[in-house]
Amino acid sequence: MMFATRSLTVPATALLIAALLGGCAGGQRVSSRDTLPDWVSNPPSAGGHRFGVGSAELGVDESAAMKLARDSATADIAKQLQVSISSTESIHKELLDINGDQRFSQNVEQAVISRVPEFRFSFLTLKDSYKDVPHARLYVLLDLDVDKEAQAIRRRISELDDEIESAGKDLGTDQDVRIDDLRRISAVLIRIRERDALQERLRLFRPGSPTVATMTDLDDLERRLLARIASVRIEIRPANGGGTDSLGTIIAVELTKQGLTVVENRADLRIVYDFDLGVIRKGGIYFGQIHGQTRLEDRDGSTIRSFDIETKGVSVQEDQARSRALSSLGGKLGRMIIDTLFARNGKDSASKSPL
């Protein structure tokens, strides 16, 4: 397998915040001594380790204080890691356009990122703790084994590389895209971003040291996957079974603005709608309102998901209020499609998801 360096954007602060939720092993060893232990103000140091000190107010629930103190100590370690890369050059990954419009790209990007598994430290242990009874304060000392953590991250990256490479070979080039194909594509995109996040964490743990090499064609694979999602053909159809009405035509225009491809036949997915559009005036202000139901069907006519939708638009001009409500509707329908592609469950014809 050929490898090369990949450019990416994974904000260090976001990565560190995720790490704050990491668990730590070890029992709640609490000791009460006459004086504060030296590590409270002078944490130890050792090669391949990071030590964090945290504290919390002692209350009725000592276990809750222990958790808060551990969280504080984990934040201390995360801060040290952030400082370690403060002078490192920023790494950027430009947002990929889909059909020349970034709005759909941004929605896909958000859907992917929101589904990347949360990172937790695997080798964070409780080294010591101290209960300052006179001042009702609990102190803890945590020890992060950076070497073991980095090794675990490298192993996971290697596993992801194997999964991504295998999935990339199985995707094929069939122009007809089914919902199951799209969900497999979305799963690969999530793995790619999980790999990006782990790669950046590896930089935090070992600033300046080589990271895991990336598959040469990983950027190309990601573009191809996004292109497959962008190639999805959407048909708009009213629930009464008739032809596309004026509202359907406007919906089609709004979805096209989102970067989606709207067709009249041979669709991969079908939006069946039953909406009411109205405009009311209150005190010189117009309120455009759309409410109703829609369902997303596959090419065989089977319902994938059902939704209740309501959108509004406000303006001093009636046409503008109506236009804003329709624009909001287009955005919600676009997100509905993306959420369906990234849904972990199979078809759910009975579900009702408010948007």
Question: Could you write out the DSSP letters of every residue in 132-181?
Answer: ETTTTEEEEEEEEEHHHHHHHHHHHHHHHHHHHHHHHHHS---SS--HHH
Mapped onto helix, strand or coil, the DSSP state of residue 56 is strand
Question: Which tokens belong to 130?
Answer: 């101290």
Domains and their CATH numbers in the chain: 6-93+123-145 (no CATH), 233-354 (3.30.160.150)
How does residue 242 score in pLDDT terms, banded at 50, 70 and 90?
low
In the prediction, which pLDDT does 89 show?
33
- Taking Cα atoms as reference points, which of 355, 295, 292 lies closest to residue 328? 355
pLDDT of residue 103: 63
Q: What's the CA gap between 168 and 221, in Å, rounded?
A: 7
Overall average pLDDT of the 31-45 stretch: 82
Give the contacts of 70 (CB within 8 A, at least 6 positions apart): 24, 54, 126, 140, 142
**In terms of DSSP bridges, do strands 352-354 and 303-315 run parallel, antiparallel, or are they unpaired?**
parallel
Q: Are 237 and 222 in contact (CB under 8 A)?
A: no
Give the tens place of pLDDT for each residue, 98-129.
Answer: 445 556 667 777 788 888 888 788 899 999 99
Q: Is the dihedral of CA 324, 326, 328, 331 positive or negative?
A: negative
pLDDT band for position 81 (cuts 50, 70, 90): confident
The mean pLDDT value for 256-272 works out to: 84
Cα-atom radius of gyration of the chain, to the nearest Å? 26
